[in-house]
Structure 1
């Protein structure tokens, strides 16, 4: 899946000369947590978060605190330079960027102009959709040898039972790198006959591990 499929295109932005007060008003009005800062060419030159603004703004508990801070320009608190992504990047790449740089938002740029924004909430929602967990389905986990052809063997068995597959994930088995785990979400609320058939054919089903099914 590409970034352009999940990004928000209506991006609220400010320019460096705008004030912290104006930024605070936008956060409250649109219920957002990040505002990209752009120049007159709509190129991203910085970004501010709700935390940046909270740290800079006077406390609501201190009425006598210097309110002049709110009139400072956002350029004084923005983060720059900014990590950006392209609309044709893959969402897996964004997940890696969020993790490695410990950020929660990336502006999307094309031809050096802002065209969208993606937040960690957008990414998490998309990943949930990709897992198929929002559909009526069942999850099974199968440990198999880490060799070519194992996934087609498993999917062939599922196909024999006329069951649709919502999603497939594969990851290494931590205790033995010669093995891997295939995680499938299948569109059936009764996976027992399939689990029984997998075990009869010699596959080790880790989840659900139902006592009494064929070994």
Structure 2
């Protein structure tokens, strides 16, 4: 049986809770990613900023301050204001079928992978698509 460790991404891009929404937006655009784990100084995953949560907060800022102030307000707003802290994490030893069920049943965009409370990887539905593609092309 394959485990999360076989499929997870370990070359992570993370932010700290005091980093700005502007920095998060730039990273998401530059790296073409939709999920940013938020870590503390000990490397523990304390939250997740998804593209959806970023957009929700950006719309809130526009509604409060207008589009002219958006960039300025994003520079002033820490990701802690927009991140989701109610997140599910998995371990590298979790079976892939269990992780797949989490994605199917809960429609998660990603699952942070932790070991000893430290963030060591991330797993996304795209990783499963890549695995399926590899398996399909190998069997052809």
Residue of 73, 80, 102 corresponding to 2:85: 80
Q: Does 1:36 align with 2:40?
A: no
2:123 to 118, 124, 143: 118
- Tell me the matched-pair count: 133
CA radius of gyration, larger in: 1
Q: Which whole-Å deviations, capped at 9, do the CAs of 1:139-173 have from their partners, x for residues lacking one?
A: xxxxxxxxxxxxxxxxxxxxxxxxxxxxxxxxxxx
Between 1 and 2, higher relative CO (CA 8 Å, sep ≥ 6) is seen in 2
RMSD: 1.8
Q: Runs ≥4 in structure 1, deviation > 4 angstroms?
A: none
Q: Which runs of 5+ in 1 are unaligned?
A: 138-215
Match of residue 55 from structure 1:
56
Q: Is the alpha carbon distance of 1:136 and 1:38 closer, same or farther for their aligned partners in structure 2, counting shifts above 3 Å?
A: closer
* 1:71-110 to 2 correspondences below 5 Å: 71-110=76-115
Of Structure 1 and Structure 2, the greater helix share is in: 2
State the distance in 1 between where 2:138 and 2:11 align. 29
> Quick check: 1:133 aligned with 2:133?
no
- Secondary structure in structure 1 of the residue aligned to 2:48: strand
- 1:56–1:69 CA contact under 8 A, matched in 2: no
C-alpha displacement of 1:46: 0.4
TM-score (norm 2): 0.85
Structure with the bigger percentage of strand: 1
